Structure 1
C-alpha cells in the first residue's frame, strides 16, 4: 500500500459521488430486481463501471470484486472490493442514508477503506498507520472508537434484527440501548465513537471490506459473528474492541 492508493480510492469516491448524486431522487431512476429480490438501480451499475475503469487505467494489474459485476480478489496480491451503492433500498426510495464503499486488499487483508455518503455530506477513510478520518460540514477530523467497557452501558445497532432472532434478543437484553441505523452507517458510527457495537446478520465481502481498515485504524474491531477476522465470513460485528468478546458471547449461534 502506498499513499497513492489512498489518493486513488478518494478520487474513486469523488467519481462515484458525482454519479450517485446526479441520479438520487431522479424522476427517471431505473430500479430492477436481482434474482435475490434485492434492488439494483442504473446508478449502481454506472458507478461500478466507472470505478472499474479507473482501476484498469491506474492499477491494471489489480483484481476487482464488485457487487454488480462480480469477480474475485481471492489469491490476488492486490484487489479492489467495490460496493457502488451500499443501501440501495434507501437510495431507491429517496432516503439519504447510502454510500459507496471502496476497499483495497493485499494478499487477502483489507488495508485501505473509503466510505462516501454524499447525500449525508459525510465521508470516512483509513489506511495503515494514518489513522481513521471523517469529513462533514464541520470539517475534517480524526476519529476513534468509544471507551465504553461494560456491555450494560453499550449503545448497539443492527441492520435487520429479523436475521438474528433470539441472538438479538439476548444481546438487546444485555445492553443499554438498541437502534437500527443499518448498513455502512452503523459501522462508521462505531468507528467514530458515537455507538459501541454494530451487527449485520448477513453481509457480503463488498459490504465489509472498506470498513475493516476504518474500524482497525479507529481502535476497534470487525469480525464475523463467529469471531473470524476479516470481511468474508458472511456476517459482521464491529465494536470498540473492549466489548467484542462479550457481544460475541450473546451472538454466537
Structure 2
C-alpha cells in the first residue's frame, strides 16, 4: 500500500494542529466538561476544526472520526481518525506529555499513525506492514527486547480508569512486572516504540484514543492488541495491551 501522499498530509495536519495548540499551552482561561465528565478546552475544538478543514479540501471523499466534532462518511473505505489533544488533563495541568493523534484507517484497519507532541517538537510516525517504519522526527526507532514480564516496565495512564474486573487484571500484571509508571496517555506508547517502556495496558479507550497508536507500535516492532489478543480494528472494544516484546505480550495476556 502506497502511503507516501498520506504521510505528507498527516504531517500537514499535525503541523496545523500544533500551531493552534501551542498558544493555549499554560494560558488556558476556561475548561468545560463533556457529558462523560471528561474535560475539553477551546484548544481541543480549534485544533480538530483546522484538521477537518484540510481534510475537506484534500480528501473530500474520505471519512472522518473526531473526538470533539463527531463523524462523517463512516461508510468510506478510508477514514481519518483525529484526537486533537489526547491527554487533555495533562494539557490543562501544563504537562507536555499530551499528544495530537492522527490515524488513517483503511477497510477498518489502522495503517498509518501519528503521535505529535507540539510543545517538545517530537513526532512519531508509523505504518502497518512495513517494519521498521516508525520514526521520531525522521529517525528510525524501535522497541527493545524484554525476555519476561518480571523484567518489564509497565505503564498506564491511571488505575482509576479501569473497571473493577479490569483493575484486578491490571493488578495481577503490575505485581508480576518490574515496576509501574502512572500517567502518560499516548506518550506511553511513543516511549514504548522508542524502547523506553516494555508494556502498556489500558481499558475504556475509544477509537480516537488507540487508532493512531497501533501503527506506531507495530512499525517499531511491537505488538498491540485487545485483551483477547485480537487485532484492533474499527468497532473493537477499548481494552488494549501494547508490548515491545511478543514474549511479554503473551505472558501478560495469560494473566489477563
Please indicate the TM-score interval, normalised by the length of the shorter structure. Answer: over 0.9
* Contact 1:132–1:142 under 8 Å retained in 2: yes
- After superposition, what is the alpha-carbon deviation per residue over 1:6-52, rounded to whole angstroms, capped at 9, x for unaligned? 00001100001111101111153x31100111000001000111111
- After superposition, what is the alpha-carbon deviation per residue over 1:41-85, rounded to whole angstroms, capped at 9, x for unaligned? 001000111111111100110000000111167542100000010
* Contact 2:226–2:237 under 8 Å retained in 1: yes
1:97 offset after TM fit, Å? 1.3
Aligned to 1:146: 144
TM-score w.r.t. length of structure 1: 0.92
1:86 to 2:86 alignment: yes
TM-score w.r.t. length of structure 2: 0.91
Aligned to 1:49: 49
Structure 1: distance between partners of 2:202 and 2:25: 25
* Contact 2:61–2:76 under 8 Å retained in 1: no
Matched position secondary structure for 1:131: coil
Q: CA separation of 1:27/1:67 partners in 2, compared to 1, >3 Å: closer, same or farther?
A: closer
Unpaired stretches in structure 2, ≥5 consecutive residues: none
1:227 offset after TM fit, Å? 2.0
Structure 2: distance between partners of 1:183 and 1:250: 23
Structure 2: distance between partners of 1:109 and 1:190: 21
The one of 238, 241, 244 equivalent to 2:249 is 244
Matched position secondary structure for 1:14: helix
Aligned to 1:132: 134
Question: Stretches of 4+ moved more than 6 A in 1?
Answer: none
Aligned to 2:179: 177
* Contact 1:204–1:235 under 8 Å retained in 2: no
Structure 1: distance between partners of 2:51 and 2:240: 25
The one of 152, 156, 159 equivalent to 2:157 is 159
Unpaired stretches in structure 1, ≥5 consecutive residues: none
1:233 to 2:237 alignment: yes
User: How many matched pairs?
Assistant: 246
**RMSD value, Cα:** 1.5
Aligned to 1:198: 200
1:151 offset after TM fit, Å? 1.2
Structure 2: distance between partners of 1:178 and 1:168: 10
Structure 2: distance between partners of 1:217 and 1:94: 30
